[in-house]
Amino acid sequence: MPHDQAALLTSDAEAHLVGIARRVLPGGTFGSMASDLVIREGKAGHVWDVSGNRYVDFLLGSGPMIVGHAHPEVVAAVTAQVARGSTFFTNNAAGIELAERIVEAVPCAEKVRFCSTGSEATFFAMRVARAFKKRDKILKFEGGYHGNNDYAHMSTVPNRFVNFPNATMDTAGIPKVLENEILVAPFNDPAAAVAIIEEHRHDLAGVICEPMQRLIPPRAGFLKAVRDVTAKHEIPLIFDEIVTGFRLAYGGAQDYYGVVPDIAAFGKIVGGGYPLGAIAGRADIMAHFDKSSAGDAYAAQTGTLNGNPVAAVAGLATLEILRRKGSYEHLFAIGHQLRMALSGALEKSGVPATVVGEPPLFDVIFAKGDMIDYRASARGDAGLLKRFNAGLLARGILKADNKIYVSIAHTEADVAEAERAFEDVAKSLG
C-alpha cells in the first residue's frame, strides 16, 4: 500500500533482520544505504520492504534497473542462462554478443573488455591509459566520483579545499604516495582545466571525467575544450560513463553531449542489474590488454567473473528493451514530469533549493545558485536534504541520498504519488 495512504509499518521480521545486520555488518550495512530498511523484492518501478510496505523506487539499485525490477524479458534471459551454467572463465556467446552491442552503440568503442564493477572499470581504464602512454599521472576533476579504487577516490568529497591541481584522499586506507599520482582540476572551468593539462602534458597518462559530473551537466564548450587539449597532446581522455552510459542516450553521454573520448568505463545498466562492468575504447589503446603485447606493453586485465554469461544475458536483454522505439522518449518524458513536480513543490515551499541534473537523473541541492562545480554544490544544506529524504521515505518514496533515478517502468501515477510526497515534505522543511 502506498505510504501516502497508510503509516509505515515495521514488522517483527524486519526488526529481527535489522538486529542481525547491526550485529554482523560494520555499521549494520553493506556500506551504502541506512540499516533500518530491508528490501524484500522489486517489480517494475516499485519495491517492497520485509514488512510489506511499498515504495515508488527512484533508487533503482543505484541506477542499474532502468527497465524496472524483474523485467519479464530480463528474468527469462537470466533464468534460461542459469539453467545452462553460471560461469566458465572461457569466452561465451552472450559476452561476445554484449561486446558487439557496446561497439555498435558507443562512439568511442572499438574494443571492449569486461570486469565485474564500475570501480574496476575505471581502475582498468586508468591502467590501460598508463600502459599506452608509459606514464603514471592521471588528472581528474574535483567532485568527480569514479568508484572505490585507490586511484579514483581522490578529491571527490574533499573535506578541505586544497589548491588545484593537488589531490586529497577521500578515505582512510589509500597509500599516501598515490596523492602525488593524481592531479585535480575544477569541473566546468575550461580555462583552468586546459591550463593545468597544458602545464602537465609531459607527465599525464590520461584525463578522467564524468561527462555529467554527479548531477552537474557540463557547460557548453567544457567537454570540447578538454577533448581538444587532450587530443592536441595525445593524452587519452577517459569518460566515466558508469552512470550516464545507456542512460542519457543509448550511446551514452558521449552521444548525448557530442564529445567522443578515447576510452569509456561502464557499469550499472550494461549488466542489467547483475555484476558487470566494461572498459571500451580505441583499438590501439585497448590493444595493451592483449596478452600477446610485446614486452612491458601488456596491461593485465583478468578476472574470474569477467564477461559472466548470466550478467551478459541480463545486459543484452536490458539493451534490447532500451533500443526499442519510444524507450528514451518515455524515460525523458517521465523524468521531465517528475523533475517539474520536484521543482514546483520546492518553489511553493519557499525553501532555498536548486534542482540539478538531466531528466533521467537529478536531485535537489538545498541552496540557490548556479551549480556548476563541486564547490557550488557543496554549499547545499546537507541536513535539509537528509530530512527531505527521510520524509519522502516515510511517505513511500525511495531515492538515493543525492540522486533520483528514473526508469522506463515508472508511470504517471508514480509521478503523481511522488508529487504529493514532494509537496508534503517540502512544506514541512520551512
Ligand X SMILES: Cc1ncc(COP(=O)(O)O)c(C=O)c1O
- For 411, the 3-state DSSP assignment is coil
Is 240 labeled as catalytic in the residue annotation?
Answer: yes
Q: Alpha carbon of 80 to those of 83, 93, 276: distances in Å? A: 5, 14, 18
Rounded Cα distance between 151 and 123, Å, is 7
Residue that has been written with the C-alpha cell 536548486 in this structure: 354
User: Residue 122 Cβ, how far from ligand X at the closest point, in Å?
Assistant: 6
Q: Which residues are CB-contacts of 119 (< 8 A; sequence separation ≥ 6)? A: 146, 147, 148, 149, 152, 267, 277
User: Residue 217 Cβ, how far from ligand X at the closest point, in Å?
Assistant: 14
User: Residue 150 Cβ, how far from ligand X at the closest point, in Å?
Assistant: 13
Is 268 labeled as catalytic in the residue annotation?
Answer: yes
User: Residue 240 Cβ, how far from ligand X at the closest point, in Å?
Assistant: 5
User: Residue 153 Cβ, how far from ligand X at the closest point, in Å?
Assistant: 10
Residue 124 or 289: which CB sits closer to ligand X? 124
Residue that has been written with the C-alpha cell 568511442 in this structure: 108
Residue 53 or 213: which CB sits closer to ligand X? 213
Q: Alpha carbon of 112 to those of 7, 148, 253, 299: distances in Å? A: 48, 21, 17, 14
Is 255 labeled as catalytic in the residue annotation?
Answer: no
Helices (DSSP H) in 3-149: which residue ranges?
A: 12-24, 72-82, 93-105, 118-133
- For 338, the 3-state DSSP assignment is helix
Residue of 55, 57, 140, 145 with catalytic role:
145
Residue of 268, 274, 373, 414 with catalytic role:
268
Residue 240 or 262: which CB sits closer to ligand X? 240
Residue 212 or 322: which CB sits closer to ligand X? 212
Residue 243 or 314: which CB sits closer to ligand X? 243
The amino acid at residue 298 is Y
Of the candidates 286, 320, 255, which has an alpha carbon nearest to the alpha carbon of residue 278? Answer: 286
The string of DSSP letters for 126-142 reads: HHHHHHHHT--EEEEET
Q: Interface with ligand X by CB under 6 A: which residues?
A: 62, 117-119, 122, 145-148, 210, 240, 242-243, 267
The amino acid at residue 387 is R
Residue of 49, 189, 240, 414 with catalytic role:
240
User: Residue 357 Cβ, how far from ligand X at the closest point, in Å?
Assistant: 13
Rounded Cα distance between 424 and 4, Å, is 10
Residue 118 or 307: which CB sits closer to ligand X? 118
The values of phi and psi at residue 341, to 5°, are: -60, -40
Active site residues: 145, 240, 268
